[in-house]
Amino acid sequence: MRRLLLAQSRGSVESFLTILPQVFVFLVMFQLIFMQFNMMADTNLSQGELARIAINGGSANYQRYPLIGGGSVLVANQQGVVKKFMDFGNISPRKVLTIAVDEDESN
């Protein structure tokens, strides 16, 4: 009986053709989640670095725009490419824009 059940559970071409698109969709969704996670991590780290510069002072690649009542707005604009889990021959550009308010311009 057990041999009969194991013999009938073998795969076929139809089951392979059914599973193949599902695996492809899973891998594409995994790629999108992976890219989104990297984008959010880069954004959070850049925002934290710019906020630290606004509080403690320092130098980095940012632009300073003065405010009317005093202080200034720091804007950092970074461009690059997103790391990919699967590469389909296309690059995925990314742009991270971070903003922080500096109340003391002497930093």
pLDDT tens column, 23-78:
989 988 888 888 888 888 888 988 888 888 888 877 778 888 888 888 888 898 88
Within a domain: 15 = yes
The phi and psi torsions of 28 (rounded to 5 degrees) equal -65, -45
Q: Is the predicted pLDDT of residue 81 greater than 80, yes or no?
A: no
The pLDDT value recorded for residue 28 is 86
* Domains in the chain, number: 1
Within a domain: 11 = yes
- Structure confidence at residue 12 as a pLDDT band (50, 70, 90): confident
The pLDDT value recorded for residue 55 is 82
The phi and psi torsions of 88 (rounded to 5 degrees) equal -100, 20
Within a domain: 89 = yes
The pLDDT value recorded for residue 54 is 83
Contact predicate 85/33, CB 8 Å: no
Q: Is 60 helix (H, G, I), strand (E, B) or coil?
A: coil
Within a domain: 107 = no
Record the pTM.
0.64
Within a domain: 10 = yes
The pLDDT value recorded for residue 2 is 61
Q: Which residues contact 29 (CB under 8 A, 6 or more apart)?
A: none
Within a domain: 61 = yes
Cα-Cα end-to-end distance for the chain? 81
Query: What is the C-alpha to C-alpha distance for residues 7 and 72, in angstroms, rounded to an integer?
Result: 74
Within a domain: 17 = yes
CA distances from 13 to 7, 16, 38, 43 (A): 15, 5, 37, 45
Structural domain harbouring 71: 2-102
